Amino acid sequence: MKRILTIGLVALAGVLAAPIAQSAPGGTLTIRMSNVRNAKGEVLVAACPQAQFLKETCPYNGSAPAHPGVTVVVLHGLPAGQYAVQTFHDENGNKKVDRNFIGIPKEGVGFSNDAPIRMGPPKWADAMFAFNGAEQAIQLKTRYFLGQSGPDKR
């Protein structure tokens, strides 16, 4: 009897989970990062609501192999709302932004709206944009502070 009950509960759990996974709300955000300096590693992207901005807890993440010039990452299942995108070119594949001894990023970073980076990270208000909940594309420039600059040397 216990075995039949267990099998029934497992089957029921599978049936209940399927509609939730298939009906996940949200749209598609395409992020185009220009100025990627080489094909080493990958580009990691996080779309963050205000409470998670500049933290490692952003709920919407994606990545793509780095391509010199422009790298594109697509995020699926993003609900409508206000977000800021933060990206970095993880050249060595360690999944973190490497910094020098005074905290300057050694790898390329970028933020939505090309939010200014002045003596520290950008402000939420400068990086924030409204996502329509369907399909949307944004562009940003990858900025390198140390080492050789990217393909776009401006």
Residue 122 CB-density burial (10 A; 0-12 exposed, 13-18 middle, 19+ buried): buried
- pTM for the whole thing? 0.78
Structural domain contains residue 100: yes
Structural domain contains residue 117: yes
Q: What is the pLDDT of residue 147?
A: 73
Identify the CATH number of the domain in which residue 79 sits. Answer: 2.60.40
Calculated CA dihedral for residues 42, 96, 150, 50, nearest 10 degrees: 100
Structural domain contains residue 10: no
3-state DSSP percent of the chain in helix, strand and coil, to 5: 20, 40, 40
Structural domain contains residue 82: yes
Structural domain contains residue 72: yes
> Domain range holding 74?
26-141
Structural domain contains residue 9: no
Structural domain total, the chain: 1
Return the beta strands (E) in the chain as ranges. Answer: 27-36, 42-48, 60-65, 69-78, 81-90, 109-111, 129-131, 135-141
Tokens 């509609």 sit on residue: 19
- Tens-digit pLDDT profile for residues 21-65: 344 578 999 999 999 999 999 999 999 999 999 998 999 999 999
- Tens-digit pLDDT profile for residues 76-111: 999 999 999 999 999 999 999 999 999 899 999 999
Structural domain contains residue 3: no
Structural domain contains residue 30: yes
In three-state secondary structure terms, 71 is strand
Q: Are the C-beta atoms of residues 78 and 60 closer than 8 Å to each other?
A: yes
